[in-house]
Every structure is written in structure tokens, then in C-alpha cells.
Amino acid sequence: MTIKIVADSCCDIPPEIAARLGITIVPLFINIGQQSYKDGVTITREEFYRGLPSFPTHPTTATPGPDALKQVYEQLAQQGADEILSIHISHKLSNTVDSARIAAAETTSVPVTVIDSRQLSLGFGFVVIAAAEAAAQGKTMQEVLQAAEDRIQCTYTFAVLDTIEFLRRSGRMNLAVASIASLLKIKPLLKMYNGETEAERVRTFSRGMDRLVELVAHNAPLQVLALVHTNAPEAAQKLRQRALHLFPDHHEPLSVNVTPVLGVHLGPGAVGFVCVSSCGRPLEGPTLMDNLQNLIYS
């Protein structure tokens, strides 16, 4: 039984890890003016963030349609997939999972199961990795689904934004609220767990980073702690230094530049953490961080 894993590009899984685990990544679209780009394929993250402050019109994003996803499923069937698990960014942030469900219903060559990761960025990515690892071990679909669900229940994403300007530009914050927030120099701190999003307000970016560390510490002990940022590697490094005592073992943490699909709303300069807690259960065998290190460096 061969189970193949599909995810959309909002998972932020580094390409080398996706390749090693056989994960198929379907790109979302970033529209800049009249030009449409495939996330991570026809535009790099660095190119996008460099241009973001000065694009004549604010970029928009789009999900692949059911036909495009169905084509991916059909290709995997031709390559020997007996079943497919298609995992996608939280439906509260995108309708990608809805497109996938339509595509799955129209696919007759192979059974396709679609689930909502109820996460974003690398939080979503860790759910996909859990499923891919289970599939690689020859687990049944039910066991692969359980591995994904277990990871969902233990995964938290926290980030602080450097500016609210891009929330305003993308329509996620109205002009009056944005103007007041800007006047008061408020920095939004965003949290996501199990499909639910929350926000806090902090007065400075530095205080925001301190609060991120507090939130992560609250969820210790951790299986893994990773850094996410929107083209802000130096800020991510400063955040890492504040949280050295929280990183499991001695591993070098994974740090990813967040997809432009989310960066359209977050803007450049945001930093955050994705953490997988131990959920009160003892760890058995290699940790998630051990596996990530092996995937990257072996």
C-alpha cells in the first residue's frame, strides 16, 4: 500500500525535506498587477518581499482550482499511489481545502482523502511531515490520519508583526483601526492553535518578542521549536537568542522565510515561533527535531 502526501505551498516545508519525504507541494498563486506567479516556482520569496513595499497595487493571492489539484492526484496515481492524503492550510485563512475536496470527489483513479491542517506556515508543515513519516513507515491511511491529528493537537504558531500597514492594504484591517494602531505604535501579536486564531496587542516590537518567548515557554516541554519570519533573518536570529533555553537538546533550529501568500497580509519584518509540545506524553524514539536534522543534513 503506497500512500502519497500532497500539500499546498503555504506549508513552508523546505524543498529538501519535501523531496526526502516524497511530499508533493502544489503552489498557490501570487498576483502582482496583471502578472500571476506560482509561489516558490516563478517568484522567490526574497524577490517578493523586496518589492512588496513599492508594488503599484497591493498583491492578491489565489488558490489552485479543482482541475489543477485533480491533475496532481491523477499524476500520483499513474506513478503508483494506492491512496492520497491531501493536507491544506486552515480553511479560515484560505479556500484551498474546499478546492481539494471538489477535486477529490472528481478523482476516480485513486482514493483521495482531504483534511484541514487547522494551521498555517510551518505549523501546517509539521502536520504534513507527521503524515509523511507515518506513510513512509507503511502505516494505514487511518494511522496516517491519526498521526496528523496528533500533531495538530500539539502544534502552536505565534508571530509578532513589525507593521499593521499590510493588514490594512490587504483589507484585513479597516483604515480607521489601522490609523489608530499606527498612531499608538501598536504591534499585533498573532496566535493560532487547532484552527482558532487570536490576537494580542503589544506596544513595541521588543516587547512582542519577549511575549513570544513567554507563550512558547507556557507550552514546554517541547518536541521541536522552529523560527518563522517574513524576510527578516536578523530579527529571527535575535528572537532565537532570547529563547536559547527553550530549544530542545542542542539542535540548530529550523528557520524559514514565510510564503508570500501569507506575507501579502503580514508584511516584511514579522518574526515568530512554531512549537510542537510534548502534549503530556513521553517521547519514544527519535524526536521530531532529530528527524528534521537527519532529513536536512544526511
Give the CA angle between residues 90, 95, 98 to the nearest 5°.
100
- Residue partners of 296: CB distance under 8 A and separation at least 6: 14, 16, 17, 254
Contact between 120 and 112 (Cβ < 8 Å): no
CATH number for 3-28+63-153 (one of 3.40.50.10170, 1.20.1250.20, 3.20.10.10, 3.30.70.870): it is: 3.40.50.10170
How does pLDDT run across 34-63, given as a tens digit for each residue?
999 999 999 999 999 999 999 999 999 999
Among 136-145, 158-167, 175-184, 197-206, the range scoring the smallest mean pLDDT is 175-184
- List every span in the chain annotated with CATH 3.40.50.10170: 3-28+63-153
CA distance 19 to 32: 29
Distances (CA, A) of 188 to 178, 225, 296: 11, 21, 33
What local confidence, expressed as pLDDT, does residue 185 receive?
65
What local confidence, expressed as pLDDT, does residue 50 receive?
93
What is the sign, positive or negative, of the torsion defined by CA atoms of 226, 228, 231, 237? negative
Distances (CA, A) of 84 to 69, 114, 213, 289: 12, 8, 37, 26
Which amino acid is it at 194? Answer: N
CATH 3.40.1800.10 fits 155-297, yes or no: no
What local confidence, expressed as pLDDT, does residue 285 receive?
39
| Maximal CA-CA distance, the chain | 58
What is the sign, positive or negative, of the torsion defined by CA atoms of 34, 37, 43, 48? positive
How does pLDDT run across 100-116, given as a tens digit for each residue?
999 999 999 999 999 99
- List every span in the chain annotated with CATH 3.30.1180.10: 155-297
Burial of 38 (0-12, 13-18, 19+ CB in 10 A): middle
What local confidence, expressed as pLDDT, does residue 250 receive?
62
